[in-house]
Structure 1
């Protein structure tokens, strides 16, 4: 993650990740300026909806008034997070606009960790994409449009072949992250399929420029986070892929945790007290400083994990 002072958050959701993110783009940028983060990536689900508002808010952090208030300038990084159906069955469900709390993905299908079902309206593997430049922004806009046109209202469809072709066309202009626990690589590791995870990581890397696909490391104090970070660090070392640390932000500060719980409960049509595994497990999915994340890295029990976290 470089030095703590250089840390930039590369995976964050605003309220434009409808009923998932709990913070307005302006609030997220303002909080980043208070914390001294030099840059924040806005990676809402399936679209660039917050890009303009985030860009305007970031511009305000460069004013004399902001400097006098002790705020640091923040550079916005534009990106998105897409969900790619894992199978023909999931592709058919996605095209019909099936929701994530369908019987196919109900409690009996859980992988057993809190928050499994929070992450989006359709089943599939998550992939985070960031624009390097204007050409990258154009590529993301085009990809998002194709996804929405392929699906039903509110339920875009990002077929794997479509995504890979778009990445090939935009090689050198996009950066990819392997994603959260719902990413293809982490999901396979959680299922004990290490060889498959290695193959998938190498395959995705082929669709990006050299060094432009990174293994994403996050730690939210869940019981198996030490293990998962160690597995991802070993995979990165084996494949020669870089690592990046993110906090998979869903709200600007800890107070947003309860609001995010309510939003997710609404999305699933569940009472808050009955939502259980639909919810994120704690208030750790907030915007954090590099120093906070560095302390987490220092506490990791595995040397390879600590090295990959740096």
Structure 2
């Protein structure tokens, strides 16, 4: 398989409960058709899709990149705030995956209010081996910028740079066909120049094909979730992403560079025995027993 110039580091599958439509098999199959040699899974709030995703990727000759779209509390995980922000973390190595699972477990056992949440205190404890992306329009930075809270966005970025380092923290650029995407891309590029934080391009898909947009929104609305605007949250090809972000080719290339750095090897037999029907916390704890030393 040829090395694709772009690797999608932010995808939602059907394991993003009642929000995502993409099946793992369809997503991996499409990645193969795109000649992608690596792919990330970053479902919101849980890693329950990781066992199936890992097996499907290995079977298809694709490097699996394990991640999670965390819900982030910008004050404290113990607060009763209903604010909902996203923060994407990718496991760079076995230590990173161990820390990803530790954060996931704590998000349920300590930070659960409406949804499982983490905060800066937990990130300070478990950031080694993790690469942080800002999460797109649902992320803290984009929300601060859109609300014209520029100083808060700068403070958040500087805090993340101090914690993760400038080679493990990236401002995430997405284009799902919204005017808001274009506004945020421009603002994030400015923020990158001001803070020194690097940019990376990601997809943020919730379904595989554009034609699946209606079905995905019907699923979301049936469970009381907000519909996605437009039909742009499909799984895009490297060629399309390179075209959409031709003005920042370095941000496209950053996705490739990050993918090359992320290598986590799991015990495939143990991983394959984890039932998709177990609850999220049980799957987290079973995955902890699947980590092998690299």
TM-score (norm 1): 0.75
Contact 1:42 1:80 in 2 (8 A): yes
Name the counterpart of 1:161.
121
- Cross-structure match for 1:264: 220
Deviations 1:189-224 (A, max 9, x none): 101122221121111122214411000000112123
Per the TM alignment, residue 123 of structure 1 is displaced from its structure 2 partner at its CA by 3.2
Does the CA contact (< 8 Å) of 2:67 and 2:90 recur in 1? yes
CA distance in 1, matches of 2:223, 2:175: 25
Give the SS at the match of 1:258.
helix
Q: Does 1:231 align with 2:179?
A: no
Which is higher, the Rg of structure 1 or of structure 2?
1
**Residue of structure 2 in register with 1:81 after alignment:** 69
- CA, structure 1 residues 221+152, in 2 after alignment: closer, same or farther (shift >3 Å)? closer
* Cα distance in structure 1, aligned partners of 2:66 and 2:31: 15
CA distance in 2 between counterparts of 1:142 and 1:11 reads 20
1:247 aligns with 2:214: no
Does residue 92 of the first structure (1) align with residue 92 of the second (2)? no
- CA distance in 1 between counterparts of 2:249 and 2:38 reads 23
Q: Establish whether residue 22 from structure 1 lines up as the match of residue 10 from structure 2.
A: no
Aligned length: 252
Cα 1:195–1:261 shift into 2, 3 Å: same
- SS in structure 1 of the partner of residue 136 of structure 2: coil
- Rounded to whole Å, the distance in 2 between the matches of 1:263 and 1:123 is 23
Deviations along 1:46-101, one digit per CA (max 9) or x if unpaired, are 22111111111112213xxxxxxxxxxx21100001112244699315xxxxxxxx
The alpha carbon displacement at 1:178 in A equals 0.8
Partner of 2:292: none
After superposition, give the CA deviation of every residue in 1:258-303 in whole Å (9 maximum; x if it has no partner).
221012102217xxxxxxxx211122111111210122123xxxx6
The 2-side partners of 1:215 and 1:151 are apart by 25
Assess if the C-alpha contact under 8 Å between 2:77 and 2:110 holds in 1.
Answer: no
Query: Which runs of 5 or more residues in structure 2 are unaligned?
Result: 254-294
**Could you say what secondary structure the match of 1:224 adopts?**
helix
Q: Is the 8 A contact 2:76 2:119 kept in 1?
A: no
- CA shift in 2, pair 1:48/1:294, >3 Å: same
Question: Cα 1:196–1:151, aligned 2, differ >3 Å: closer, same or farther?
Answer: closer
Q: Distance in 2 between matches of 1:152 and 1:227?
A: 32
TM-score, normalised to structure 2's length?
A: 0.79
In the alignment, which of 73, 87, 107 is matched to residue 147 of structure 1?
A: 107
- SS of the equivalent of 2:148 reads coil
Q: What SS is found at the alignment partner of 1:5? A: coil
RMSD, matched Cα: 2.4
1:105-144 deviations in Å (ceiling 9; x for gaps): xxxxxxxxxxxxxxxxx63221000000111111111111
1:279 pairs, out of 224, 227, 233, with 227
> Does structure 2 conserve the Cα–Cα contact (< 8 Å) formed by 1:233 and 1:308?
no
Kept in 2, the 8 Å contact 1:86–1:124? The answer is: no
